[in-house]
Chain A
């Protein structure tokens, strides 16, 4: 039978002896190339410097550059029971990004503490990060016991201090082991120098760690972040396949599913794979595809769940623990991109609850921004509702990264959903309206002069449908009938109103929506029938536009299939309808709202 594999990340403050621990593990398990150890020792003797296991790692790295298979960041060794992959995470704070990258996919961590120096700033910070990264199996090695005369009291003092620190993070280490990596005490064999220690050696402890949580993930509710939807027609393939990776739980053909946040429902018709036996069940870990019994129009990023399972949270606000790696600080008011599962959504920092001082694990209050290498607790708000779990319940769907200026700048885990508060946008609109300075002409005055009310008419639909023609014809016809109608193509803004704003792909969409809404607010205030088009809008885009245009009214005309599940569209036009027919229907709509004839 194939041996198990276990990925371990090794962390700790600079110079607390990580390399020595790794070197020892490699040497004591016979995992080094033949003659390597002797060669490095001989080299040290020649240069009259004391041998250190860390030199061994350096020597292996040199070889690697010449094409031999030992990895600098990853080392391999094996016990009778398992293959171990050790990820050597840089201790220096400047390499936080690399430490996070290395640690994020490890199952287990070893934290090395120097018995003489005790718990240091990065010992704490790394502990905090490990807890946030979801690594629950942590072994603490109190190293360099030879430098404190193998003193039990020193070991216990260090263990107690760090244990108390980790307890605040809800992290309970598997064990504390006193070692001297340099001397080999308690690494692969019990040390005669530490007779008071009755626990396991490092190797025994590693072998005793329970293997990963695959079964536990299977028992959780079903969660499937929709990565993409494929329709490849080559070879008369008519499947519409919903592709992604099952994060937790399992699902079988015939079961009912809900996509969130859109709340669309269907049932699993088939499970799609390539070059495997037909599957009737899909389970946690599988990168797979589904076809559904009914045709649904969905965007990638929705979370597919099982109707009978406990549902995730749907909302825009949440409280979270985060770490920040960005070159620029995390600030309020700025739009960032949030990536959670396969969803990408615009997000803003609402409130900093506290920033942790890693050297003390005390809070720094009243901080206005989150700086590079800070860890802390914050409230965020997305511009549209998202589906998420609390990290304590399902970690996979309860964690996220934040992108700033194209870079992943932060990561976090969700602690709590914050429900039913006024959204940031509603707050902003309220503030705007309270401060809005009007002239001496009222809306009623304008209505009487123009013989109609103002209105924001938005024509939406997929790319490629004739929204623009309909909009232009509408403007012309209304104008001919003496209405004040104005059509604006949003592309006109790029080289005009938007010119001063650097184009930023991440925020472009959210910013575009905001601008259209604000423009509509001005144009409707001026008494106009303001007409524009917007492709591929979703329910939340329409909600935002409606809100931004307040106190005036918006009418939404959809061309083609109505894919909105929440927003009540005012008028649906078929693809076959001409701009003339469209105009007749829009006029009827306006009349039915007694907008046009009211003043006549």
Chain B
């Protein structure tokens, strides 16, 4: 078994463990490459099926290609696809592109708050109806208490301290210094009522591993990752107003892998194009403490 085989086996084991132990779980699908690999790994774990609902938080500032891509594969792979949003903030224009709040507050409104209330079931959820191919208001408002997230330890500081199975209390507090031990493939799978859980099957993957796996498995990823002829592409996908494409002429997965291995991105952080990380120093750490994923 090579390194990718091992990473895959570990992630599959974690996904199966999560599915076995928790009833109300959901998998976040940001449409980015990491959570798309995660979705692919779920198909591996469950032999082509995806028995876990997928949740996307739509900020309505995503590039249209992302939504088209999401819905295309939701239909093709018969996904139990749900999206949620912060309807109020959008209606009252409490967003950065509207010029009414700063970037961090915008993230907090459109992502963190939307995610929190969609998970809890307080805010409407929209579920894809595979008979019509459209989204209907979901009648299920039960809270999701387990969330599978595609974070990687190498992404940035706060993520390197994560566990595969990471409990958060009702206030979303994360006790970084007092986390459960994980050994011999045994994770924390017993919880006091009210505990919320995040599951991180991709923790040991690097950005390069992700691309190598996309290549090996021939996983379809969003077209925004590739140069469409204007000499730039997205290295990380976010909302259009806060994500700067990087200069790159890579048009294939192979070219991206080369770029990461030896080219100009070998020593530059992946999220360097994401503006909210820089706002106010340690912005992502602040957002994560509040429940950003």
User: Which residues in A have some Cβ–Cβ distance to B below 8 Å?
Assistant: 2, 5, 33, 61, 64-69, 71-74, 97-98, 100-101, 104-105, 133, 214, 227-228, 230, 232, 234-235, 237, 239, 241, 243-245, 272-275, 285-287, 289, 300, 325, 337, 339, 396, 399, 401, 403, 406-408, 411, 505-506
Contact = CB atoms under 8 A, between A and B. Distances in A.
Contacts of B190: 337, 403, 406-407, 505-506
Contacts of B106: none
Interface stretch (B83-91, B109-117, B152-160): B152-160
Nearest to A94: B177
Interface string B127-165: 000000000000000000000000001111110110100
B16 A228 contact: yes
A232 B186 contact: no
Contacts of B46: 230, 232
Given A69-B269, A235-B78, A243 B16 contact: yes
Contacts of A133: 183
A69 B270 CA distance: 9
Contact of B183 (A66, A411, A506): A411
B13 interface: yes
B98 to A, nearest CB: 27
A2 B192 CA distance: 44
Contacts, number: 143
Nearest to A325: B181
A133 B186 CA distance: 13
Given A72-B160, A401-B186, 4 more contacts: A67-B277, A74-B160, A243-B16, A406-B190
Given A67-B157, A287-B8, A227 B13 contact: yes
Counting contact residues on chain B (CB < 8 A from A), the size range is: 35 or more
B184 to A, nearest CB: 6
A407 B48 CA distance: 33
A286 B1 contact: yes
Contacts of A2: 2-3
Interface stretch (B58-66, B68-76, B240-248, B280-288): B280-288
Contacts of B279: none
Contacts of A73: 160-161
B49 A234 contact: yes
18 contacts: A64-B157, A67-B272, A68-B269, A74-B160, A98-B179, A101-B182, A227-B17, A232-B47, A235-B48, A239-B47, A241-B47, A244-B16, A275-B43, A325-B181, A337-B190, A339-B186, A407-B180, A411-B184
A239 B48 CA distance: 12
A299 B196 CA distance: 27
Contacts of A68: 156, 269
A105 B164 CA distance: 13
Contacts of A100: 181, 183
Given A64-B156, A65-B157, A230-B46, A101 B183 contact: yes
Contacts of B8: 287
B25 interface: no
Contacts of B45: 243, 287
Contacts of B153: 71, 74
B277 A286 contact: no
B1 A285 contact: yes
B9 A245 contact: yes
B184 A67 contact: no
B168 interface: no
A408 B161 contact: no
Contacts of B271: 67
B47 A5 contact: no
Nearest to B282: A65
A97 B180 CA distance: 7
B188 interface: yes
A95 to B, nearest CB: 9
A272 B181 contact: no
Contacts of A241: 47
Contacts of A399: 184
Given A97-B181, A228-B20, A403-B190, A274 B47 contact: yes
B19 interface: yes
Contact of A287 (B13, B186, B281): B13
A61 B282 CA distance: 13
A100 B190 CA distance: 19
Nearest to B270: A69
Interface in B1-59: 1-3, 5-6, 8-10, 12-13, 16-17, 19-20, 43-49, 51
Nearest to A244: B16
B267 A33 contact: yes
- Counting chain A CB atoms within 10 Å of each CB, the highest count among B16, B158, B161, B284 belongs to B16
B217 interface: yes
A274 B157 contact: no
Nearest to B267: A33
B47 A272 contact: yes
Contacts of B161: 72-73
A337 B189 CA distance: 11
Nearest to A284: B1
